[in-house]
Chain A
Amino acid sequence: MTQERTAPHATGAFVEDPDAPEYSAYGGDWSEIADEAARLAQQRIVVNMGPQHPSTHGVLRVMLEIEGEVVTETRAGIGYLHTGIEKNMEYRTWTQGVTFCTRMDYVASMSQELVYCLGIEKLLGITDDVPERASVLRVLMAELTRIGSHLVAIGTGGNEMGATTVMTTAFIGREDTFRVIEMITGLRTNNAYIRPGGVAIDAPEGAVEAIRAMIPLVRQRLDELADLQLANPIFKGRLQGVANLDLAGCMALGITGPILRSAGLPYDVRKSDPYCGYETYDFQVPTSTEADAYSRVVLRLEECYESLKIIEQCADRLEASVGQPVMVADKKIAWPAQLTVGADGQGNSLDHIRHIMGESMESLIHHFKLVTEGFKVPAGQVYQAIEGPKGLLGVHLVSDGGTKPWRAHFRDPGFNNLQALSILTEGGQVADVVVAIATIDMVLGGVDR
């Protein structure tokens, strides 16, 4: 099974010289290392940044070859957070898979649930049967997630440059979106809320009011972030003209999302290939032609405002569709029980338990079959793409006609976009590497899966 190859090493040394001096930096000892390097008169230094470095958004290893302050070569080493999610999904039912894929890019959980469930529905051929209220709830969740993800991108990006207030402000705004998400789904992240055929549970009473109350709070945080950053001379000095990638570079590297739009191409899957009824919502796709890190921060902020517009429309539609179903009518696919919150936490609704345990043997059998065995999906393969916060998020699903995926492969936009790190950083300053990583806005959980 294993091929005997002299495989090239991804993490191999830059330098062939075995006698090259090595230093481990733990912080605070920089002057000693610099003195030693000066003593040896070495100009060319290879720096390993990460995999445990606060500015690498998790566990990314960046290998930098520097001459003075200038980066001459950059390599990214990934895989430190590989958890075999795709492999694991092959051993669980289609429905259980939702709980796995939601944990990939944990900052944009719901986007992955959405693309996965849309893929399953395409395989099943029930795309048009998903109730409208379920689609509205999905759009609501996708947009709340988009705001959360962009706020993390902006906030951690600011923090890495030393602006802690930017981070705290962004995280307060994100927490406001989480309150609504928690009220509806029961959880802040890793929700497993979007399920094949609909969503796990209808929005509770008061949800529309909570959404409407959240919008001005988040808008205020966005305003604050804009006021704090966009005219700030230090911020502009650090970001303007840094990490440039023009349209040709974006197309060659398959970049999507805010980075592509910052280069001037208004490509957004929500507009070009609408799903969940996005064509019926009124929103704009902001673009820029600056193609630098600064313009991407501006774009992310503008996208958050557009998402708030969509969320407003979702609130209106939720108000108008109270009482409508949130799961397909087909009992062979729809999860049999609604969830409820009991004294011991979230679980099946007591009415449902009473029904299957006390009233209907057939319902009990049906519940048991669907929950343990799952539903069968006709053999075939599909590709589904949505606009995730970080770019085009795709899923390739293969079914062998059984109750489990034969193969589930996700195209995480961060995985693809991280390939641009070299071109974004080489020739620039070491300090700009941090800006470049922040502007790519990948999450290593999604990159490594």
Chain B
Amino acid sequence: MSESQDLTGTGAAQGGPQPGERETITLINVREGMFGARGDTSGYDLLVKPVQMPGASERPYGEWFDGVVDVLEELLGERAEAAIEHVVVDRGELTLHIAREHLLEVCSYLRDDQDLRFEMCLGVSGVHYPADAGRELHAVYPMQSITHNRRLRLEVAVGDADPHIPSIVSVYPMNNWHERETWDFFGIVFDGHPSLARIEMPDDWVGHPQRKDYPLGGIPVEYKGAEIPSPDNRRQYR
């Protein structure tokens, strides 16, 4: 993971982290210009502004978050440092960034330990961050504990060149179709999945449609003599 750490550092350097700010983890996007449209005459066209996810949090995390992280660290023992890359608390929600090698172990602890007991994984949501070099594809797992009435989020980041994440279907069988969907839409390969087939797109579809470099498609429409471009070709106010 050292490579991705370095690249994260590069991303942060671009953004120019302000002193006292939290350590940045995910570079969402690099905005250019002020208004989204290229070639405007305002002079703001050359503006380059990286956008970061809220960075890593320091202890105490607040609420029940410290307890859960403590238990997890205790169970992982000496592997805790490598497994839990970052802990982020933002908008009252806990996110644990997990190294993919340790994902299965973390999941089985989350499910089985009586102090954690996250019985349900609410699926896996892929997110594509093309600007986050070496960590372009993120898999986000919302976990629900019915026993303790808690929810947390696991996030696993992998590079576009090696988009492999271990499947957690052996621990959370409910994630079967969710992983197929994320494979289908993002091209993340969930190793060990019982049958990683496409689920929404046809079997012979080429490409992974939810990636940012995959066009939305659509055709221009003529309306009363004016041509309205397709949605992804319209002037964007980002």
- Chain A residues with CB under 8 Å of chain B are 1-3, 5, 7-12, 78-79, 82, 84, 86-88, 90-92, 122-123, 125, 251-256, 265, 267, 272-273, 372-374, 379-383, 385, 392, 394, 396, 398, 400-404, 406-407, 409, 411, 415-416, 418-419, 448-449
Contacts and interface: CB of A to CB of B under 8 A. Distances in A.
Given A383-B151, A411-B178, 4 more contacts: A7-B203, A380-B54, A419-B174, A449-B200
Contact of B189 (A3, A92, A411): A3
Interface stretch (B4-12, B40-48, B63-71, B207-215): B207-215
A79 B178 contact: no
A401 B51 contact: yes
10 contacts: A1-B208, A1-B211, A8-B197, A272-B146, A381-B90, A381-B95, A383-B151, A398-B28, A404-B236, A411-B123
Nearest to A416: B174
Chain A interface, >50% SS class: loop
Nearest to B209: A87
A394 B213 contact: no
Contacts of B127: 381, 398, 406-407
Interface in B89-137: 90-93, 95, 119-123, 125-128
B104 to A, nearest CB: 17
Nearest to A83: B200
A394 B198 contact: no
Given A125-B91, A396-B142, A254 B196 contact: no
Interface of B: 28-29, 31, 51-54, 90-93, 95, 119-123, 125-128, 140, 142, 144, 146, 149, 151, 153, 163, 172-178, 180-181, 187, 189, 195-203, 206-211, 213-214, 216, 231-232, 236-238
Given A9-B203, A403-B238, A379 B54 contact: yes
Nearest to A420: B174
Nearest to A265: B146
Contact of A383 (B93, B121, B211): B93
B28 A400 contact: yes
A407 B155 CA distance: 15
A427 B122 CA distance: 28
A381 B53 contact: yes
A419 to B, nearest CB: 5
A78 B199 contact: yes
Given A254-B121, A254-B174, A123 B208 contact: no
Contacts of A416: 123, 174, 177-178
B196 A84 contact: no
A229 B135 CA distance: 56
B51 to A, nearest CB: 5
B173 A252 contact: yes
A168 B225 CA distance: 47
Given A9-B203, A380-B54, A385 B122 contact: yes
B238 A253 contact: no
Contacts of B203: 7, 9-12
Contacts of B195: 8, 10
A82 B206 CA distance: 16
Contact of B149 (A82, A272, A402): A272
A40 to B, nearest CB: 29
A106 B231 CA distance: 23
A67 to B, nearest CB: 23
A27 B187 CA distance: 41
A370 to B, nearest CB: 11
B138 to A, nearest CB: 9
A112 to B, nearest CB: 15
Contact of A407 (B125, B187, B236): B125
Given A253-B173, A394-B122, A409-B125, A400 B142 contact: no
A383 B209 contact: no
Nearest to A372: B237
B196 A8 contact: yes
A403 B238 CA distance: 6
A276 to B, nearest CB: 17
B174 A9 contact: no
B197 A7 contact: yes
Nearest to A396: B125
A245 to B, nearest CB: 13
A398 B203 CA distance: 28
B198 A10 contact: yes
Contacts of B31: 400-402
B195 to A, nearest CB: 5
Nearest to B174: A254
A2 B206 contact: yes
Contacts of A449: 200
Nearest to B198: A10
Contacts of B53: 379-381
B51 A379 contact: yes
A3 to B, nearest CB: 6
Q: Which are the 8 A-B pairs with shortest beta-carbon distances?
A: A254-B174, A10-B197, A409-B125, A373-B237, A79-B200, A396-B125, A82-B200, A400-B28
Contacts of A372: 237
A266 to B, nearest CB: 10
A168 B31 CA distance: 55
Contacts of A448: 200
A394 B163 CA distance: 25
Given A374-B237, A383-B153, A416-B178, A86 B210 contact: yes
A122 B91 CA distance: 7
A415 B178 CA distance: 9
B28 A79 contact: no
A400 B237 CA distance: 13
B233 to A, nearest CB: 10
Given A372-B237, A385-B151, A3 B231 contact: no
Contacts of A400: 28-29, 31, 51, 238
B200 to A, nearest CB: 4
B237 A10 contact: no
A34 to B, nearest CB: 31
A5 B196 CA distance: 11
Contacts of B200: 78-79, 82, 448-449
Contacts of A9: 197, 203
A392 B177 CA distance: 16
